[in-house]
Structure 1
Amino acid sequence: MAHAQRIDTADSDQIVDQALSQKLEQRLEWQALLHVHDQEPYIKDNQFLLSWPRFSLANELTKNISALLSANNTTYICKFPARAIWLQQQLQLPPISFAQCPDFLEYLDNAPADEIKLVYVSDNITQPSSMMGHVLIQFSGINQKNQHVDHAISFFTDVQGVNAPKLMFEAMVTGKKGYFSLTPLQEKLERYRHREQRNIWTYDLRLTDEQRQRIQYHVWELKTAPLTYYFSRYNCATLTHFMLATTGDAEVSKRFSHMLTPLDIVKSSDAAHLIVGTTLLPADKFAIRMLSDSYSPSWQRKLKSAVDHQALKQLIESTPSPEEKFVIYQVASHYRDYRIDQGKVAADQAEFNTQFEQSKPLVQDFSIDLSQYKSPLKAPDDSQFSVGSGYDNHQYDIRLDYLPAAQKLEDDNSQSASEHELLLGNIGLKYLTQEKKLKLDYLKLYSMTSYIPYDVLTGGISGKFSMSYEPHVDYRLTEQHATTIEGGAGLTHQVMPNLSISVLGLVGIDYFQHGVSAHVSPSLGLIANEKYDMKSVIQYQRIYTTQQFSQPYNSIKWIQSKRFTPELSLQFTFEQFWNNDKQKTAYALMLKKMF
């Protein structure tokens, strides 16, 4: 039978009292199984919470124990196996059998969890669906057919469409339909690594048999749960957090926040010492750049020409160094795969592939460990708060800046593939000391800037897109606020490892209180990562507006950052606007805390 031994009503009431006296409702494992933090449930539906809408942890515990001990408990046990087993263990109830749960048993047979791993997929800030990265759980084991199988347990939403403001509003405010899936892992890896060119880190987790079983059983409980996806409060990271929190690890549980990101999950797992091994599966584009990073553009052009003209064997034969032969072959292999992924070369093109078969015997094997190269575990936290003072419009002010997710260009990007900025809900407040007035200085709903250095083998287009409410100056250097949508593209050149310059062409529409204007602004930028954990970001723009196109004006902005610790830094900002008649200058000094 698929139930525990029948228990009398009086005994049932006594068991409920026992559970409440033990304060089982406060246990971390129980709250994680309910997707509850600080008394707040994150799945608000009576299909998942038996006490909804009169939810409380104690009431939910009572309802679940009553359902488990009822005469007809098969439905409960088959729907909530993780809860049933945990309650049975804590209350020392008779053993539970799942013999009458054929669908659940089939799931266990087909998706074994002999090993459970955490998978982090790197971000792609140019795509709304992946701008913060992605995190999922991997099940691995031997199925009923004695075959090794890997499955991905993932939570996501549909972000297709061209109406970016609508997508952002739904994902942030109203919520979107969430999709919880269990699929063959290889399908996911192929899409992330080849189609989307994203790196994949896999982390081996230190879990007991009991913890692995609880996670595996809990995945089944989520199969029919009505899930709503919110970008901020319930996303792939939130759901993964609750799955890992079912282990009862206090370090994992305490690192919950109302806006979790995939990077938060990786870092909390590391802080809890759950991670015992790391493997990186690099995207071809990333691997090409990493392996050829120390070689000149002429070296890259020579390799590209050799591969394109089926002369790889001759290039390797003419190279004396065994190590360089190995690098050439590895870069060429990734370049071949990248060309195939881009549809530039057919995967079965015989002539193109023959050169690799002929070249392989000429290359001595070496080992390259990429797992710690630009590691997510070394990346800065992706929320921040800044406080400081500034001078603008002939008066001093006190400033506050809050960024709930992502990072700014002046932050440490050393663990990313390129310099970039991603702002989501960045808000700035300013207190004017002379006027004694607090005002909203800016609200950057969404801003993406990516400076990808142009590469001979993979190309690379830099770009920017933003939607914001912030101050603007016109051709007379008069300041007023506007809602702005701006975008553009250009090129970045890596002058040396720590210095890059970029040129972008930007266009935008500005919605002022009394009218609409458009602007065009060529932009020249410089980013320098300096000694002593300092960084300079300088940008010059010449701005043409439809208000007075024949009277363009100029702006230059310099941000100098100094990091004291990975979490604490100081930024000095100097900004100046000028035209043929006058100039306007502003500056600020801000202390930033990452968290």
Structure 2
Amino acid sequence: MLRCLVPLLLGSLCLQAQAKPQLTQEQRDALASDRFWLTLGHYQPARWGGWRSYVDDNAFFLASNGGESPAAELSATLDGLYASAALGNDHVQCRYPSRTRWLREQLNLKDLPTPNCSEYNEWYEDIAPHSTVLVFPDAYLNSPSSMFGHTLLRIDSPETAGSGTSLLTYALNFGAMVENMDNGVLYAWKGLAGGYPGQFSLLPYRDKISEYSRLENRDLWEYQLDLSPEETARMVEHVWELRQVRFDYYFFDENCSFRLLELLEVARPSLRLTDQFPLTAIPADTVRAVREAGLITEVNYRPARERELLARAAPLTADEARWVTRLAGDSAQLQSSTFAALPRERQALIQEAAYRLARYEASGKARDSADAANSYALLQAINRNPPPALNIETPTYPEFGHESRTWQLAAGSREDRAFAEYGLRMAYHDLADNLAGFPLGAQIELGDIRLRQYEGNHWQLEQLELVNIRSLTPRSALLKPWSWQVATGWERVAGENGNHRLVPHLNGGGGFAWQPWDSVLGYSLATLRLEHHRDFDAPLSAAAGFNLGLLWRNPLGSLLAEGRSDYFDNGEVRRSLALAQQWELSRNLGLRLQASREFSQFSAPQTEFALQLRWYHY
């Protein structure tokens, strides 16, 4: 029997070998260097020549050196295309439908085996890709992983495209795989250092809506993309090839936004989106790149639950806001004679605000029957006495804000010494920057370096801030959020004999912010600080203090007035007053006048003035 089988097997192998296209080395090299093939393999030029793939998972490659050799991966793929159809779902054609389609078209392959790819076919038919929507959940400062916002893709079927039934579609997401319950600080550090693998996932869009708009209180922007059904299908085919495949994940470059740009280049190979982000890929910048490529045809804005609540409560008086709080906690108050005495139109506003507050407070909690009954009673009252429609003004689109990197050029004087100052901030926004597209009271600065040149050609490093984050969220009659800040790096402070010492520091604090008018934000924070100062006896000194400030959005731009005080454990007291007015010359250009007065026991008070030109440029 064995003697009969061996010739048959050898004959079958010979027939397969004869069926494979016989390519010249020139043809093979041309295919392996084709941009679309390189895109399918996520290849980029290696630092010292050759290629390397962004994919950090050997299971993605058919060749042992496929991560470094597009040509070897091409040869292995061609071999696999002609494997026995009996392999079924494990066949190369089933595992790599995008590669298969492209090679079939390029080489006019008409004699391929026809394996039964049941798993892929069922998955693809369930998604039924027809059109693509880029979704941008706005920045959420209370989560370190969401400080810059996020991007994902929504895949619409022919039935859901443009029908208003987007909750029935699928969301394509790339994110870090967090297997442990890491706290926010550890999560941020590991995300910066590539401590998590990244992976694509495809899940119902309604789940992502709930996560971002409801649980994290993030506005959602939905950008309809000008991709044809064929282009969308090509992209989804490639997503199947990436299932369970791991990438390195870094917050600043190899992140959600960069990976999605790669997918868009698979959909439309003529795009050159990833080339624009050699160092960082901040989500708002990638949305801007998509717009500039002419891909956006329509924009839909979904306000977060918190924004809807505050908008509904905005016209209420203080007494009516107190009624909102009472009803949200106890719907039986609807039967109160005092509440019934209110005008019906005011009752309608109060009831809906109370319902929204009750649902807002229940977000992220386990279902509670008493809370559900309370919400249902409020909903019944709303149906009996509906309020007018809630109209929320659409804010400035995120991609229309200033760009993320900032070049700074300043001239000024400190006491009797004139100076010029040159700065670069890698990302991305401070309290006084051009405000359009950013929330009032939000600050995220990373990699802010300033070099100062005094008279006599004396140069010194004035500041190197690694991280400086502020989340100043105003309190209201209904919501009582905390405000907080954290910063670390090196900065100049007063020292002995009039020296201005460069010290490493770590400081943070928490407190409250309030917004008496739409254009004014005040804040008060208690702070703690650690620093290493060569003029202090201890190698590490601690201080407790406070920050007080006022941010005013005025016709010229933004004005920031701030006072700080630190009381060190060695008796040193350091105080400062600062004022900054930003003139918004254009979207990506600002002029800032700064003045400060510093007080220390080491020296007499020091006064500094500077005029700074700020150019926002990626």
- CA deviation string 1:219-269 (max 9, x = no partner): 111114231111222111111111112223536455434311222232223
Matched, 1:152 2:171: yes
CA distance in 2 between partners of 1:32 and 1:558 (Å): 50
The sequence identity of aligned pairs, in percent, is 19
**Structure 1 residues 345 and 303: CA distance shift in structure 2, 3 A:** farther
Q: Would the aligned equivalents of 1:469 and 1:484 in 2 still touch at CA under 8 Å?
A: yes
CA distance in 2 between partners of 1:345 and 1:563 (Å): 48
Q: How far off is 1:368 after superposition?
A: 3.0
Partner of 2:144: 128
Matched, 1:82 2:98: yes
Matched AA of 1:546: D
CA distance in 2 between partners of 1:398 and 1:83 (Å): 56
| Equivalence map 1:23-422=2 (5 Å) | 25-27=33-35, 29-37=36-44, 41-44=53-56, 46-48=58-60, 59=71, 62-63=74-75, 66-67=78-79, 70=82, 75-94=91-110, 99-141=115-157, 149-157=168-176, 158=178, 160-162=181-183, 164=185, 167-246=187-266, 247-250=268-271, 252-253=273-274, 255-293=276-314, 297-310=318-331, 311=333, 318-319=342-343, 327-341=349-363, 346=368, 348-349=370-371, 350-363=373-386, 366=389, 368=391, 372-392=394-414, 394-422=416-444
Q: Would the aligned equivalents of 2:137 and 2:151 in 1 still touch at CA under 8 Å?
A: yes
Find the residue that maps to 2:476 and give its secondary structure.
coil
User: 2:509 pairs with 488, 503, 512, which one?
Assistant: 488
TM-score by length of 2: 0.82
Q: Which has the larger radius of gyration?
A: 2
Q: Would the aligned equivalents of 1:449 and 1:464 in 2 still touch at CA under 8 Å?
A: yes
CA distance in 2 between partners of 1:520 and 1:351 (Å): 44
Q: Would the aligned equivalents of 1:471 and 1:482 in 2 still touch at CA under 8 Å?
A: yes
CA distance in 2 between partners of 1:540 and 1:345 (Å): 45
CA distance in 1 between partners of 2:522 and 2:597 (Å): 20
Q: Would the aligned equivalents of 1:137 and 1:240 in 2 still touch at CA under 8 Å?
A: yes
CA distance in 1 between partners of 2:231 and 2:116 (Å): 24
CA distance in 2 between partners of 1:85 and 1:248 (Å): 14
- CA deviation string 1:364-399 (max 9, x = no partner): 5536365x3353233333332223334347544433
Q: Would the aligned equivalents of 2:172 and 2:201 in 1 still touch at CA under 8 Å?
A: yes
Q: How far off is 1:89 after superposition?
A: 2.8
Find the residue that maps to 1:445 and give its secondary structure.
strand
Partner of 1:516: 540
Matched AA of 1:153: L
Structure 1 residues not aligned, in runs of 5+: none
Q: Would the aligned equivalents of 2:81 and 2:113 in 1 still touch at CA under 8 Å?
A: no
CA distance in 2 between partners of 1:316 and 1:202 (Å): 41
CA RMSD of superposed structures (Å): 3.6
Q: Would the aligned equivalents of 2:253 and 2:282 in 1 still touch at CA under 8 Å?
A: no
The number of residue pairs the alignment matches comes to: 577
User: 2:526 pairs with 489, 505, 516, which one?
Assistant: 505
Q: Would the aligned equivalents of 2:168 and 2:206 in 1 still touch at CA under 8 Å?
A: no
Q: Would the aligned equivalents of 2:199 and 2:245 in 1 still touch at CA under 8 Å?
A: no
CA distance in 1 between partners of 2:189 and 2:370 (Å): 45
CA distance in 2 between partners of 1:459 and 1:194 (Å): 17
Q: How far off is 1:71 after superposition?
A: 5.1
CA distance in 2 between partners of 1:192 and 1:44 (Å): 28
| Equivalence map 1:523-538=2 (5 Å) | 523-532=547-556, 534-538=557-561
CA distance in 2 between partners of 1:538 and 1:583 (Å): 18
CA distance in 2 between partners of 1:574 and 1:236 (Å): 40
Find the residue that maps to 1:250 and give its secondary structure.
coil
Q: How far off is 1:348 after superposition?
A: 4.5
Matched, 1:12 2:31: no
CA distance in 1 between partners of 2:216 and 2:270 (Å): 34
Q: Would the aligned equivalents of 1:413 and 1:419 in 2 still touch at CA under 8 Å?
A: no
- CA deviation string 1:47-101 (max 9, x = no partner): 4456785877863685466446655697432232212212333444338786433
Q: Would the aligned equivalents of 1:409 and 1:421 in 2 still touch at CA under 8 Å?
A: yes
CA distance in 2 between partners of 1:168 and 1:152 (Å): 24
